[in-house]
A and B are shown apart, each in its own frame.
Chain A
Amino acid sequence: EAAVTQSPRSKVAVTGGKVTLSCHQTNNHDYMYWYRQDTGHGLRLIHYSYVADSTEKGDIPDGYKASRPSQENFSLILELASLSQTAVYFCASTGEIQGTEVFFGKGTRLTVV
C-alpha cells in the first residue's frame, strides 16, 4: 500500500525560528509535493519536486524553501517562521503518468506563536 509519512505530526514554533517539516515516501514515486491547508482555502501548493536534488516553486512559495535529497525524502523549511504560517501542511507523492493517484500524508499541524 502506498505510504507517505510526515514528521512531526504537530509542532509549536516561535516566531522567527527555523522549522523543518519532513516527508518520507515508500511508493517509488518521482513526484512529491508540499501543500498547506487553511480553513476556507482548500489546499494550496507550496513547492514540488519531480527528481532528487531539484525543487520547483508552487503557487505560494514565499517564506518557504524545499529540499529533495533523495527520491524518498522531501523537506519543507521555514527559515524565519511567522504567525501567518500557522496551518496544516500536507506532503504528497505520485507517479509520472498524468492522472495517477496522488497519495497524501496525514499532515503536520504547525502553530507559530
Chain B
Amino acid sequence: SQQGEEDPQALSIQEGENATMNCSYKTSINNLQWYRQNSGRGLVHLILIRSNEREKHSGRLRVTLDTSKKSSSLLITASRAADTASYFCATDAGGGSNYKLTFGKGTLLTVNP
C-alpha cells in the first residue's frame, strides 16, 4: 500500500516564487527522501533526511521532517521554469528492508515563466 501522500497533487506558480510540497506517511520510517521526475522519465534523487533529523538544506531546497506528525515538507525557493516536474517523497523502514522504498503519489509542479 502507498505510504506517502503528497499534498497538493498539483501546484502552479510563477517563476521566482517559492513552492512548498508536503508529504505524509503512515508507519515509522528510517529515512525520507524526495525525488524529481521530469515528463515521465527517470527519477532524480534530490535529498535524503534521516528520522533523527528535523531540517536539511541543499541549494534552493529545504526539507523538514516531523516524525511526531509523520510528515515532511519540501520547499523550493526562487523557483525556475526548469523546476517544472513531478516531485515524490519516498520512505524506507530500515532494518532488513532498508533498501525498499515506498513512494507517495507525487505533486506535479508547474513553474510558469
Q: Do A and B bind each other?
A: no
- A: residues with CB less than 8 A from B are none
- B: residues with CB less than 8 A from A are none
